[in-house]
A and B are shown apart, each in its own frame.
Chain A
Amino acid sequence: MIINLIILLIVPFLMAGVIKKTKAFWGGRKGASIFQPLHDFIKLMKKDFVISKTTSTVFKIAPVVQIASVLFASMFVPLACGSALINVSAGLIIFAYTLSLGKFVSLISAMDTGSSFEGMGASREACFTTIVEPAFFMLIASIMALSGNFTFDSLQNILASAGNYGVLIQIFAVVVLFIMILIEGSRVPVDDPATHLELTMIHEVMILDNSGSDLAFFTWANSIKMLLLSSLIAFIVIPQGLTEWMAVLAYLFVMFIISVIIGTVESAMARFRMSHVFEFVFLMSSFALVVLALVVARMFGG
């Protein structure tokens, strides 16, 4: 458990660092140390913050609610070793809607500033979320239905419960979750975390008015969200029955590989036009549907 806690505190920043390092590598630059995001976080935590006069209480409590909801959600997800801290059969639903709570608060906090940019960002983010959510449920619930075990543990047993279809389901599940990481983590090709152009931003523009520890909470929460979704991928691909240390190493290795892939994707392709992002998000839904179809075929098709 201690290991999981340390991972939750540090690995999100390291992932962000590795992504940036990968991008620097492809761009022919040396790049900042992979610990830079952690340093940035500590720096922001020490800073004072400025709060706009046009905002209300919503704006002030939003960062705390956001980070609290993400941390709470993390208790329902299995990390490096062992099962989730709270391993209940309704875990999926609590996980998804606690994250949604955080997102809802950050949306209304963005609207609270009265800035037209932030309103646009909030509308874009809300729009993507409504498409992502059903796809996520379809994927995880299908896998759970297959094994009959309604906890996240069922992700580990895909091969055992799905037989011939196991590998296919694993591949599609990883792809769906990876696309979800790009969307939720606001990475290229959905969003551009490095841009300064307010008109094109999605996630970044929503936290434009936040500063100091508020900003630190939002960026940390975003990194943790990416870590949690990556953990689900790790849980699917890492074989069962490893010793504890081997499991932790394998987990960290998967996190590293995912970060490098994200960095490489960001370097190799341009961002989608905003109207094409929806097509990309629907790609995730269609892959989730394939998983559902495979599960139905397995359960009722013989």
Chain B
Amino acid sequence: MRVRWGSFIPHLILSAFSLAILLPLVWIVRVSLTDKLTAYKIPPEIGHVGIENYIEIFSAYPFERWFLNSLFVALASTAISLPLATAMAYAFARFNTGGIFLRLGVLASQMLPPIILVLPLFTLFFTTGLMQTHLGLILAHLTISLPFLAWMLVSFFEGDSASLEEAARIDGATRWQAFILIAVPVAAPGILAAGLLGFILSWNEFLFALVLSGADTQTLPVGLASMETHAGVEIAPLAAATVLSLLPVFVLLPFLRKYLIKGLSLGALK
């Protein structure tokens, strides 16, 4: 009896915990599939089920533009920061470039609250004409993805390819060849996963996009937030837009599982 109770209680608590996470997500999907009237019904009823809301967000709101802006900014900022971060992380791991000073600098850059950067970026973009442009937003998102990727990738290069590189160097490979032909391919899965995490960071970013983007460059989070104020309490289309914006993240999640802990702990844990 003791044994059975001992395992029953954790399962009870863990199931309750899982439901607390899952039910709100299920409910949002349900609201997104109802019509506007049913969405407000308290007590809730099943009522009508359909995909009208998913059609409406494309016709009544520029959802497509928000989505494409987010996609473009996230892809571009990741494409720029990933090679730069990879090279620097390798230098940190292999040659201890810059020592403690640079490492601490990169970590601190990552920890910087965006509100500290958004003020000077706002005035700088204002004078240089980068305000409300894609380029401006991409540069702003680099402040998040570049330090994150650099810091995270250092731990990938502290792994096992060092001896392989040494062997290649003895066989006459240059430092550059050892880096490009050995270290990078060995760390490739990690670099790719880090890139996906960097993409999600940019995809989710809100404050920079809120202050620095304009009507044509608005990203999804800003669009969703504006939808909320314009529509007042039009929750059915909002729920549909929410589900669609979550989709890329949930599609990528399974590919990231192995590297998630490293990403979240900033490389401290495996």
Bound pair: A and B?
A: no
